[in-house]
Amino acid sequence: GQQLNQSPQSMFIQEGEDVSMNCTSSSIFNTWLWYKQDPGEGPVLLIALYKAGELTSNGRLTAQFGITRKDSFLNISASIPSDVGIYFCAGRYNTNAGKSTFGDGTTLTVKP
Amino acid sequence: DAGVIQSPRHEVTEMGQEVTLRCKPISGHNSLFWYRQTMMRGLELLIYFNNNVPIDDSGMPEDRFSAKMPNASFSTLKIQPSEPRDSAVYFCASSLRDTYEQYFGPGTRLTVT
């Protein structure tokens, strides 16, 4: 089956620093999604990418759909304490209909 | 919109008991997903429905797990009998079939003692 490798597994940064995380797949996807999960809550969709090469921003967040369709990147600029949480990537391929494959998550800690 | 609603938020039960988790998807969404999240295995898709019909239940761990969607606004995930290894957070998510953006509920934290 499809495998997603998300890295890094965890990050400890100072407030104000930029953050970068990525996901790579063993096979191609048609859609990449990035979610954030706060403690005790469900994942919340941050950015959706539908086209290879696409670069999309949502405030201080920027995500890119890799040209090979096997990877995606999420960058957070000027981190703030509320950015703390677990970030998940998810990929989908059309033939899997509604099914998404999730990465294992990147746990972000921001020190004030 | 109220978002995806799950109940209960927390459930503590004894081994061998039946557990029923409930989900109300976002109105107008016609795909519904049940996930399980643990530290060891991350987010696992258990089953998903399109237009109330189960499409893929390959993630359901074993026969003790069953899911139903009797109508477009309600789904249940049942575990009978429950075991301690079923302890996890169970999420329900919904989406419009023609898009890929799933919206998650707050989850049900299940503890089986």
Determine contact: A41 vs chain B, CB below 8 A. Answer: yes
Q: What is the pLDDT of residue A94?
A: 67
Low-confidence ranges of chain A (pLDDT < 70): 1-2, 94-98
Q: Give me the mean pLDDT over the B92-105 stretch.
A: 84
Q: What is the pLDDT of residue A100?
A: 82
**Cβ-contact A68, A11 below 8 angstroms:** no
Determine contact: B108 vs chain A, CB below 8 A. Answer: no
* Distance of residue A5 Cα from the nearest chain B Cα, in angstroms: 12
Comparing CA positions, the residue from B63, B47, B100, B44 lying closest to residue A49 is: B100
- Each residue of B30-61: pLDDT tens digit? 999 999 999 888 899 999 999 999 988 988 98
Check the CA dihedral B62-B93-A44-B8 and report its sign.
negative
CB contacts under 8 A, A 59-88 vs B, are: 88
Report whether pLDDT(B67) > 90: yes
